[in-house]
């Protein structure tokens, strides 16, 4: 069955209609921040990281490769799988949200570039696929199965229930728990051992971007709840609870495939317990946002980082 182009015919263009673009909408506030906080992965100096890498033990290198490979693959996944949501919002005529998401997907592509540049700089050239599949069933469940399923279901059915499932999966679980929990590990290593400064800078910039992405997800979930009622809220919370064990499970799987040893003095407080806290933070943010007037919502309300 071919594509029905009638669904995508434009009736008007908002930028030339009376009133034009609504700069006060929350997504446009994020859009303006994204322009101001632009960064280029190619300009980050990784020379000290190369020297630090040579001094790491094999176990330490293996741990960073394991976590880094999950990031690189995860950033690639979210760059690839955002498009059905963009198309859904195009069909709904939500120009400001589409404009922000187009900036958003560009940022995800920069994150892929950043991690690949780090691996190339330190000489990691081998196939790392096993770290994201065979050695991490929880990661595989989310990134290889649940994320594409939730996002691409929108290409068949743009119901509010499917839309909120997609946003919960992408913004709250993948970005809000899995990614943010991983950043915490890198920040811990960078700060405690004063190593890999280029990677540390890279992670901080990525986390700045992701704070806007997560905030957009919270905003969109709150908008859907306000428009469609408590049944959409229930779907969101049910889906969050379904995915949560897998997201937290990523941090309880063996960090490296060698006798279960975890280097860098990492503790559950930095890994599993931190991921659990993040999950509660995301739930609280949705509950706060759904009670607020969206026109009054600011990036700061949802924890957006402004460097």
120 within domain boundaries: yes
Residue ranges making up the domain that contains 149: 48-302
Query: Residue 41: inside a domain, yes or no?
Result: no
User: For the chain, how many structural domains are there in total?
Assistant: 1
Q: What is the pLDDT of residues 81-122, one digit of tens each?
A: 999 999 999 999 999 999 999 999 999 999 999 999 999 999
At 49 the pLDDT is 98
Contact 240, 168 (CB under 8 A): yes
- Where b means 16+ CB within 10 Å and e means fewer, 171-182 reads bbbbbbbbbbbb
d(CA 119, CA 300): 34
Q: Among the listed ranges 7-16, 64-73, 163-172, 232-241, which one has the minimum average pLDDT value?
A: 7-16
Q: What is the pLDDT of residues 129-174, one digit of tens each?
A: 999 999 899 999 999 999 999 999 999 999 999 999 999 999 999 9
In a domain, 218, yes or no: yes
Please state the rounded mean pLDDT for residues 125-131: 96
DSSP 126: S
Q: Per-residue pLDDT averaged across 246-272, rounded?
A: 83
Flag whether 211 is in a domain: yes
| 1 has pLDDT over 50 | no
Mean pLDDT computed over 231-236: 97
Which tens digits make up the pLDDT trace of 25-63?
999 999 999 999 999 999 999 999 999 999 999 999 999
Confidence (pLDDT) at 27? 97
CB atoms within 10 A of CB 77: 21
Q: What is the pLDDT of residue 10?
A: 83
Q: Residue 76 domain-assigned?
A: yes
Determine phi and psi for 17, rounding to 5 degrees: -90, 170
Burial of 24 (0-12, 13-18, 19+ CB in 10 A): exposed
Residue 223 pLDDT > 90: yes
Does residue 22 form part of some domain?
Answer: no
Contact between 248 and 271 under an 8 Å Cβ cutoff? The reply is no
pLDDT, position 9 = 80
- pLDDT of 255 strictly over 70: no
Mean pLDDT for the chain overall: 94
Model confidence at 204, pLDDT cuts 50, 70, 90, reads very high
* Rounded Cα–Cα distance for residues 119 and 307 (Å): 26
Q: Quick one: average pLDDT of 222-227?
A: 96
pLDDT of residue 166: 98
| Distances 199 to 63, 75, 120, 152, 204 between C-alpha atoms, Å | 14, 15, 12, 32, 9
Separation of alpha carbons 75 and 85, rounded Å: 16
Q: Is residue 36 part of a domain?
A: no
- With the C-alpha atoms ordered 115, 177, 63, 273, is the resulting torsion angle positive or negative? positive
Q: What is the pLDDT of residue 258?
A: 59
Model confidence band, residue 259 (pLDDT cutoffs 50, 70, 90): low
Three-class SS state of 94: coil
pTM of the model: 0.95
| Helix/strand number for the chain, H first, E second | 13, 0
> How high is the pLDDT of residue 121?
98
Give the whole-angstrom CA distance, residue 104 versus residue 216.
10
The answer to whether residue 227 scores a pLDDT higher than 90 is: yes
CB under 8 Å, gap of 24 or more: what pairs does 291-299 form?
292/222, 294/26, 294/219, 294/222, 294/223, 294/226, 295/24, 295/25, 297/26, 297/219, 297/222, 298/26, 298/29, 299/26, 299/29, 299/30, 299/33, 299/212, 299/215
Binning pLDDT at 50, 70 and 90, where does residue 261 land? confident
Q: What is the CATH number of the domain that holds 280?
A: 1.10.620.20
Residue 128 domain-assigned (yes or no): yes
| pLDDT number for residue 294 | 92
């Amino acid at each position: 069955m071919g594509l029905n182009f009638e669904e995508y015919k434009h009736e008007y263009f908002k930028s030339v209609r009376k009133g034009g673009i609504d700069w006060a909408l929350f997504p446009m506030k994020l859009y303006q921040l994204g322009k101001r906080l632009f960064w280029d992965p190619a300009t980050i100096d990784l020379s000290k990281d190369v020297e630090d890498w040579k001094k790491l033990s094999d176990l330490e290198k293996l741990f960073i490769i394991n976590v880094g490979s999950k990031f690189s693959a995860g950033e690639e996944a979210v760059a690839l799988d955002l498009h059905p949501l963009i198309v859904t919002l195009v069909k709904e005529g939500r120009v400001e949200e589409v404009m922000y998401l187009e900036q958003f997907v560009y940022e995800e592509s920069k994150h892929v570039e950043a991690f690949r540049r780090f691996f190339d700089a330190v000489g990691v050239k081998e196939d790392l696929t096993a770290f994201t599949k065979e050695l991490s069933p929880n990661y595989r469940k989310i990134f290889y199965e649940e994320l594409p399923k939730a996002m691409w279901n929108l290409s068949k059915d743009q119901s509010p229930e499917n839309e909120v499932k997609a946003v919960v999966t992408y913004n709250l679980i993948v970005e809000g728990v899995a990614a943010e929990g991983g950043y915490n590990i890198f920040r811990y290593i960078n700060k405690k051992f004063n190593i890999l400064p280029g990677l540390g800078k890279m992670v901080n910039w990525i986390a700045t971007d992701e704070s806007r992405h997560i905030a957009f997800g919270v905003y969109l979930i709150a908008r859907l709840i306000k428009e469609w009622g408590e049944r959409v809220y229930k779907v969101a919370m049910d889906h969050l609870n379904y995915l949560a064990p897998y997201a937290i499970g990523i941090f309880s799987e063996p960090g490296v495939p060698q006798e279960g040893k975890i280097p860098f003095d990492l503790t559950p407080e930095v890994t599993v317990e931190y991921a659990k806290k993040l999950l509660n933070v995301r739930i609280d943010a949705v509950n706060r946002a759904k009670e607020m007037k969206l026109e009054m919502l600011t990036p700061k309300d949802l924890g957006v980082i402004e460097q």
